[in-house]
Amino acid sequence: MIRRLALFAGLVALPFAPLAAQDAAAPATPAEPAITTAAAPAPAAAPAEGAASGDFITHHITDGYMLEVPSFRPPFVTEICLGRHVGEHGCESPWPDFAIDLGLFTLRGNLWPTKHTIMLALAATIVALMLMLAGRAARRQTAARGHATGFAGAIEAVVLYIRNEVILPNVGHHGEAFVPFLLAVFFFILGANLLGMIPFAATATGNIAVTATLAIITFLVIEVSGIVANGTGYLNTVVYWNTELPLYLRILLAIIVSPIEVIGKFTKPFALAIRLFANMTAGHIVILALVGLIFSFKSWLVAGAPVLMAVAINFLELMVAFLQAFVFTMLASVFIGQVREAHH
């Protein structure tokens, strides 16, 4: 089971690279002095404007081609350009943007990896290795002692809890087929959330492109599972048709309620994407704003209160990292169970 989860975790991360790069390829604003994107290279005056405005929050919560790593020299951070240097502080993708005309709109982006893409790949790698090692240790310890212990036992306990208390009760009968996917989503989101709490790292789940892709994948799983479970009865989840009512009422209610049913299908993934994105972004903005008070007042006398509040918010963020992974998995399980039982 745990080895299958490791494989799923790697597969879940694959669709995010072009979308994260597309998000980074959006035109840069003057508030992003250190990031110059492929779509619109920043003018030479951008770093000075960003520094003058004092906006250091946007630079840390948005995506880009500049990766920060710790350094022993002031200012104790080194910026690594993931692409091609532009000017003194800029960085852009060495690849040209692509544009795909889809009729109603044009899909634009860039496939060069950004810092969020790096974090997604790192999170998927860590989760995959962790689950594979835990799976091997669990089998070895079970064969020797009859049960897993230590780190493997802790991972097994989390897997069993999510499987038995969250996924199976909500998905319903024959829900075992959805356990690997939903557990992989849980561990992948949790890994990305926790990775974003490490200093100098970036929170990939604070990127709307990432959370939207997760929501779209979940949406496809929900709808396909409904089609497989209900067959032609799946149409009842799109068109409201109550056979117990007179014909004229069926037609009237179908006209009124069917658009609501269709809208409801799209509000579910929208809610999944926005909830995860907003919660993971808000906490980092609050922490950066509190730390920024020290530099706004330009005095160490006021440093105590902002630092204490930032530490408190950081502990809250740690809880939110686990909570949002749990909520996303639980809601996905509920939505899958609802569409599979629609014929009832």
DSSP letters for 107-134: EEE--S--HHHHHHHHHHHHHHHHHHHH
Q: Which residue has the tokens 């994105």?
A: 277
In a shared domain, residues 123 and 229: yes
Joined together, the tokens standing for residue 343 give 């014929």
Quick: pLDDT tens for 65-105. Answer: 988 888 888 877 888 899 888 887 789 899 999 899 888 88
Which of 75, 96, 117 corresponds to the end of one domain? 96
pLDDT at 38: 36
8 Å CB contact between 342 and 236: yes
Give me the mean pLDDT over the 334-340 stretch. 93
Which of 96, 123, 149 corresponds to the end of one domain? 96
Quick: pLDDT tens for 163-189. Answer: 999 999 999 888 899 999 999 999 999
Alpha-carbon distance of 217 to 182, in angstroms, equals 11
pLDDT at 58: 80
22-31, 48-57, 71-80: range with highest mean pLDDT: 71-80
Please check the confidence at residue 205 and state whether its pLDDT lies above 90: yes
Please check the confidence at residue 133 and state whether its pLDDT lies above 60: yes
In a shared domain, residues 69 and 165: no
Q: Which residue has the tokens 């963020």?
A: 317
Domains: count for the chain: 2
Angle at alpha carbon of residue 119, lines to 206 and 167, rounded to 5°: 65
In a shared domain, residues 15 and 31: no
**Percent of the chain clearing pLDDT 70 (strictly above):** 83
Alpha-carbon distance of 288 to 301, in angstroms, equals 18
In a shared domain, residues 132 and 258: yes
Q: Which residue has the tokens 């709808």?
A: 223
Cα torsion 136, 17, 337, 331: sign: positive
pLDDT at 46: 40
In a shared domain, residues 277 and 313: yes
8 Å CB contact between 269 and 219: yes
Nearest residue to 329 via CA among 158, 197, 145: 158
In a shared domain, residues 82 and 128: no
In a shared domain, residues 101 and 198: yes
In a shared domain, residues 176 and 290: yes
In a shared domain, residues 79 and 199: no
Give me the mean pLDDT over the 139-143 stretch. 92
| DSSP assignment letter at 167 | I
Please check the confidence at residue 109 and state whether its pLDDT lies above 70: yes
- Cβ neighbors of 67 (< 8 A, separation 6 or more) are 79, 80, 81, 82, 115, 118, 202
Nearest residue to 2 via CA among 228, 230, 163: 163
Nearest residue to 293 via CA among 306, 280, 284, 281: 306
Alpha-carbon distance of 55 to 280, in angstroms, equals 19
In a shared domain, residues 80 and 199: no
Secondary structure class of 84 (helix, strand, coil): strand
Alpha-carbon distance of 33 to 47, in angstroms, equals 4
The whole domain housing 109 covers 2-25+97-340
Which of 96, 120, 138 corresponds to the end of one domain? 96
Question: Which of 194-221 are b and which e, b meaning 16 or more Cβ less than 10 Å from the residue's Cβ?
Answer: bbbbeeebbbbbbbbbbbbbbbebbbeb
In a shared domain, residues 266 and 280: yes
In a shared domain, residues 68 and 159: no
Question: Which of 281-310 are b and which e, b meaning 16 or more Cβ less than 10 Å from the residue's Cβ?
Answer: bebbebbbebbbebeeeeeeeeeeebeebb
